Amino acid sequence: MADRVTIVDVAARAGVAISSASSALNNRPGVSEATRLRVRAAADDLRYVPSLRGKSLSSKRAFAVGLVLNRDPDVLESDPFFGGFLGGIVSVLDSHGYALVLQMGEGPEATLDRYRRLAADRRVDGVFLSELVVDDPRIALLDALHLPAVAINADTPFPFPAVRQDHRPAVFELVDYLLGEGHQTIAHVTGPRQYIHARQREDAWRDALTSADVVVGPTVEGDFTFEGGRRAARELLGRVDSPTAVFCGNDLTAIGFMSEAREMGVRIPEDVSVSGYDGIEMGSYFQPMLTTLRTSPHHIGAESARMLVDVVRGAAMEDSTIEPAELIIRGSTSRARTSL
Amino acid sequence: MADRVTIVDVAARAGVAISSASSALNNRPGVSEATRLRVRAAADDLRYVPSLRGKSLSSKRAFAVGLVLNRDPDVLESDPFFGGFLGGIVSVLDSHGYALVLQMGEGPEATLDRYRRLAADRRVDGVFLSELVVDDPRIALLDALHLPAVAINADTPFPFPAVRQDHRPAVFELVDYLLGEGHQTIAHVTGPRQYIHARQREDAWRDALTSADVVVGPTVEGDFTFEGGRRAARELLGRVDSPTAVFCGNDLTAIGFMSEAREMGVRIPEDVSVSGYDGIEMGSYFQPMLTTLRTSPHHIGAESARMLVDVVRGAAMEDSTIEPAELIIRGSTSRARTSL
DNA sequence: TTGAAAGCGCTACCAA
DNA sequence: TTGGTAGCGCTTTCAA
């Protein structure tokens, strides 16, 4: 393969200095229009592609951002949120010439190490901060590492710019709908309570009931998994005062809940109305189909990528809120059973 | 933040030349043991972390590899294969100091562009080649771009080193098992036939029937989706000579098939035995649970990453085969119905 | 075995 | 507005 065309070649062909060529190509001021055009033409002729490596070294930027998933590497397999999220991220990054570096850490310490390494290697210019937990140790770390970040569904206020999808209106809508259908006891299966988004959903559910002057139903702490949903069903449906409706922290949990309920001989929605959160495809694979609050992983990913690119370019960003989650009523919820 | 510690600092502290420091740190010959130790100590004292950028520029390597998914960005959401696959990849790359750059292209041409860009930017040292199609245009492109690659489940022979999980034994086992249960007509719902792995599964199914001297059942071309499975069910179960068993190209298809069958009043497994391919978690969320051929996405990912790292380091690799797919018999298959 | 110096390809500063 | 040049941090060649 012929030697790579460099800016030296372009400058030579255009008959200008390297520095002028650089300025011209990067649309920096201080170059006459004539020169700019000449350099452009030369670059085109030579099919010049700037070297990311040279650029990186001298400009001290990586033109890449990182995403570290704090998870068992195989959880991605069962959590469909990340597919859309990743898709949204890369589609935006791509159009800005940025790349996504994907990392995974099993357990909190391993995850922190990934960030340390990304920073030490200067592998990325910034990172996404997702799946936030209470007192998340990554906040202090990123701060110490001087690594710019954009948070996803963070609490407010938050030390980094954040993109949020408002979940509250939809949760309120769901609760109102269930109350309207005659449900008196609406239970909630939470996610792991260290997760901020798990708490946000629980809080919204509680607030919705409280503001409707209805007694707050029982809760079970789940873990956002199918199996966790099954456990929750055994726990909630075994009791005499079992709820007539349950709002699960995510769809996977709701699906597990329905599965176990069915095995216990509890009918859905006749005996218990079940709803989830996420709006994953899988929810429509079951009969009855799952009532859920649909989020927009792709959009969240795209918006956070847009923000992160701005942030690493030095723009001061304010938080961004995308369209709220949306209530999707389907077959798994209906009027409350009248007799216990 | 203090200025970054560079190799210059290390050399100075060790009292040697930069070049010696470099050789010492990289375990290159031509440095006395004493010098090596002195340099090491200096580096440790200073907490020296080599600059990936400097290294990249001078060594012409990116220390990163790329994965381009030729998909609708949101398909990741519904195809659980990639979660495990990604997990396997990053876990291995990580331990070698390599990073994964993730890209997505919607449609073949966009996908090719991603590769072109990765190559033009020298963003990666090599790429994974997954979801191969017949006469895959990426082969010629990568060749032209001089981009090393490792293929996943490629046909044999193949112009790039490949990692494969043998599917044939499990398909044969499945067919034998179904025949043993009295099934005479075993249908197959393929994946999109441009995909090599879709063809491989179909071929294995056909070969298994042929070698057992059983007439080859009907096929329907599916698309690896839930909806495709539903369509296939309508097509296959509507006919008078409807099969008593069906082998679906993947689990999602099988799940769709079961869903539609149920709605048509066809009982599973009493009226038709259904089996899939992949072994995704979701298959166990349904009643009856899905009989399937379980693959190892994580292992495939890990093995291909191991190979790719070797390849970009210049090792001539031979193909690698991981443990074969495994037959998991569950409730969705049973004895054939005796009367039509 | 060691060290000096020339790149790698670009940016950015400063003089002209 | 233009051009020369000194980095950025490392590898690698070639003398010493």
Give per-residue pLDDT as tens, A63-117.
999 999 977 644 566 677 888 899 899 999 999 999 999 999 888 899 999 999 9
Chain B residues with CB inside 8 Å of A295's CB?
none
Task: Tell me which chain B residues have a C-beta less than 8 angstroms from the C-beta of A74.
Answer: 83-84, 87, 298
pLDDT given at position B82: 82
pLDDT in tens, A164-191: 999 999 999 999 999 999 999 999 999 9
Burial class (CB in 10 A: 0-12, 13-18, 19+), B157: exposed
> Which residue in B1, B76, B123 is closest to A83 by CB distance?
B76
- List, as one string, the DSSP characters of A309-329: HHHHTT-----EEEPPPEEE-
User: Which amino acid is residue A34, in one-letter code?
Assistant: A
pLDDT value of residue B309: 96
- pLDDT of res. B135: 95
Within 13 Å of residue A47, how many CA atoms lie on the same side as its CB? Answer: 5
What is the average pLDDT score of chain B?
93
Rounded to the nearest 5 percent, the helix, strand and coil shares of chain B are: 45, 15, 40
- Residues forming a β-bridge with B321: B164
pLDDT band, residue B4 (cuts 50/70/90): confident
Q: Which pLDDT does position A156 carry in this prediction?
A: 87
Footprint of strand C on the protein (CB under 7 A): A 3-4, 6-8, 18-19, 22-23, 25-26, 28, 48, 50-51, 53-55, 57-59; B 15-20, 23, 29-32, 34-35, 57-58
Report residue B187 as tokens: 């249908």
CB contact under 8 A, B82 and A62: no
Task: Output the pLDDT for position B306.
Answer: 96
- B residues 251-270 closer than 8 Å to A (CB): 255-256, 259, 262-263
- For A246-278, b/e burial (b = at least 16 CB within 10 A) is bbbbbbbbbbbbbbbbeeeebebbebbbbbbbb
Pairwise CA distance, residues B298 & B313, whole Å: 23
Asked if B195 and B135 count as a contact pair (C-beta separation under 8 A), the reply is no
Give B150's pLDDT tier (boundaries 50, 70, 90). Answer: very high
Closest Cβ opposite residue B87 in set A73, A88, A280: A73
What digits encode the pLDDT tens for the residues B70-79?
A: 776 445 566 7
pLDDT for the residue numbered A328: 98
Q: What are phi and psi of A151, to 5 degrees?
A: -95, 150
For chain B, the distance separating the N- and C-terminal CA atoms, rounded to the nearest angstrom, is 78
Please, are residues B162 and B154 in contact by the beta-carbon 8 Å criterion? yes
CB B258 within 8 A of CB B268: yes
Residue B288: cis peptide before it, omega within 30 degrees of 0: yes
Residues of chain B positioned with their CB less than 8 A from the CB of A264:
none
Span B316-323, average pLDDT = 91
The pLDDT of residue B3 is 64
Position B265 pLDDT exceeds 60: yes
Q: Quick one: pLDDT at residue B266?
A: 96
DSSP state of A13: H
With cut-offs at 50, 70 and 90, classify the pLDDT of residue B279: very high
Nucleotides of D under 7 A from a protein CB: 1-14
DSSP, residue by residue, B234-274:
HHHHSSTT--SEEEESSHHHHHHHHHHHHHTT--TTTT-EE
Residue type present at position B266: V
* pLDDT tens per residue, range B23-58: 999 988 888 999 999 999 999 999 999 999 999 999
Omega before B157 within 30 of 0, i.e. cis? yes
**Strand D closer than 7 A to residue A57 Cβ:** yes
Hey, what are A325's tokens? 């989650």
Q: pLDDT by residue (tens digit) across B180-192?
A: 999 999 999 999 9
pLDDT of chain A, 340 residues: tens digit per residue: 346 899 999 999 999 999 999 999 999 888 899 999 999 999 999 999 999 999 999 999 999 999 999 776 445 666 778 888 998 999 999 999 999 999 998 888 999 999 999 999 999 999 999 999 999 999 999 999 999 999 999 998 999 999 999 999 999 999 999 999 999 999 999 999 999 999 999 999 999 999 999 999 999 999 999 999 999 999 999 888 899 999 999 999 999 999 999 999 999 999 999 999 999 999 999 999 999 999 999 999 999 999 999 999 988 789 999 999 999 999 999 999 875 5
